[in-house]
Amino acid sequence: MPLLVVDGLVKVYPGGVKALRGISFSVEEGEVFGLVGPNGAGKTTTFRIIATLLKPTSGRVTVDGVDVAQEPYEARKKLVYVPEDVGGYRRLTGLEYLSFVIEVFMSARGATRSEVREALEEAVRLTGLSEEKLRRTRMQDYSKGMKRRVQVAWALAVKPRLAILDEPTSGLDVEASYELRRVIAEYARRHRVTVVLSSHNMLEVEYLCDRVALMKDGRIIDIGFPGELVEKYNARNLEEAYMRAVAGAGSR
C-alpha cells in the first residue's frame, strides 16, 4: 500500500475559486515525488491539505493509512511540513529553535530523551552551519538560505514517515542547493523517508524526484518518471516536457 494516497481532491475557496479540481496520485514509501507547475497551479493547497492545515471540499488523503481529515492529530505524528515562507521564532538562536521544534515533534511521538538528543545532533550536522552561528545568532538575523537549511535539517532529522517540502532550496546559492539536494536524496533512500516536494527549478526536480506530477490550474496533466516524461513529449529536458504537456492539455 502506498504511504501517501491523494484521491479525487477538490478544494474550492470562498468566492468560488477552484484551487484543486479532483487531483489523484499516490507515493510509495521512500519515494521522492515532485509537484511541478506555476504559481496558482494548486501545489501549496495540496500540501496544506495533506499537512492537515486545510480541509478539502471533497476527496480523501491518507498518510500511512491515516485519513488526514478524520484523524489530523494522528496524521501529524507521521509527517512534517516545511512551507516556502517559514522563518521560525525570530528571537531564538538556531540551536534553541532546533531544540524546541524537535522536542515538540518527537515528544508527540513518544520518543525517548536519547532519541530526541540524537535527532538534535543530526539536525545540527545537517544544517551545515557553524556551532558559533547556531549558538549565538538569532533566527531573525539569518539569511533566507540559512533559515531554509535549519528548517529542512530538523524536518529530516526527526525521520518522519512523510516530509512535505515546499521549495526546499529557495534562497540557497548553487553550492548549498546542491548539498541540500544530496542530503534529501540520501535521507529518502537510507531512512525510507517519503518526500513530497515542489520546486520551480526543473534541474532540481530531475535530479531529486523519482516521479513527477505536472500541474496546471488545479489539475494534474501527467505523472511519470522525469526521463519518461521527457521522452514522451520528445523534449530536451523536463521544462520543455512540461510546456508541451500544458500545450497538449489545452488543445484537448
Query: What CATH number is given to the structural domain containing 198?
Result: 3.40.50.300
Mean pLDDT of the region 81-92: 86
C-alpha distances in angstroms, 122 versus 12, 156, 177? 40, 9, 19
pTM: 0.93
Residue 81 has pLDDT above 90, yes or no: yes
Domain shared by 36 and 47, yes or no? yes
Domain shared by 251 and 166, yes or no? yes
Domain shared by 136 and 29, yes or no? no
Domain shared by 173 and 203, yes or no? yes
| Residue 35, beta-bridge partner list | 198, 213
Question: What is the spatial distance between Cα 157 and Cα 189, in angstroms, rounded to a whole number?
Answer: 14
Residue with cell 488543445: 251
Mean pLDDT of the region 229-239: 95
DSSP conformation class of 251:
T
Residue with cell 478544494: 11
Q: In the structure, what pLDDT confidence band is assigned to residue 252 with cuts at 50, 70 and 90?
A: low
Question: What is the spatial distance between Cα 157 and Cα 240, in angstroms, rounded to a whole number?
Answer: 35
Question: What is the spatial distance between Cα 176 and Cα 143, in angstroms, rounded to a whole number?
Answer: 13
Q: Reading across the β-sheet that carries 79-82, which strands appear in turn?
A: 79-82, 162-166, 194-198, 32-36, 211-216, 219-224
CA angle 217, 247, 20 (to 5 degrees): 15
Written as nine digits, the cell of 29 is 514509501
From 116, 135, 159, the end of a domain falls on 159
Domain shared by 174 and 237, yes or no? yes
Residue 113 has pLDDT above 70, yes or no: yes
- The enclosing H or E element of 230 equals helix 226-232
Residue with cell 500540501: 47
Q: In the structure, what pLDDT confidence band is assigned to residue 70 with cuts at 50, 70 and 90?
A: very high
Residue with cell 488523503: 61
Mean pLDDT of the region 211-216: 96
* Domain that includes residue 115, residue range: 79-159
Beta strand pairing call for 66-67 and 32-36:
unpaired
Residue 67 has pLDDT above 80, yes or no: yes
Residue 162 has pLDDT above 90, yes or no: yes
> Which bin fits 64, alpha (ψ -120 to 50), beta or left (φ > 0)?
left
Helix, strand, coil share (%) of the chain residues, nearest 5: 45, 25, 30
pLDDT (0 to 100) of residue 151? 93
From 123, 139, 159, the end of a domain falls on 159
Rounded mean pLDDT of the chain?
Answer: 93
pLDDT (0 to 100) of residue 15? 92
pLDDT (0 to 100) of residue 144? 83
State how many domains the chain has.
2
Q: In the structure, what pLDDT confidence band is assigned to residue 88 with cuts at 50, 70 and 90?
A: confident
Question: What is the spatial distance between Cα 11 and Cα 26, in angstroms, rounded to a whole number?
Answer: 18
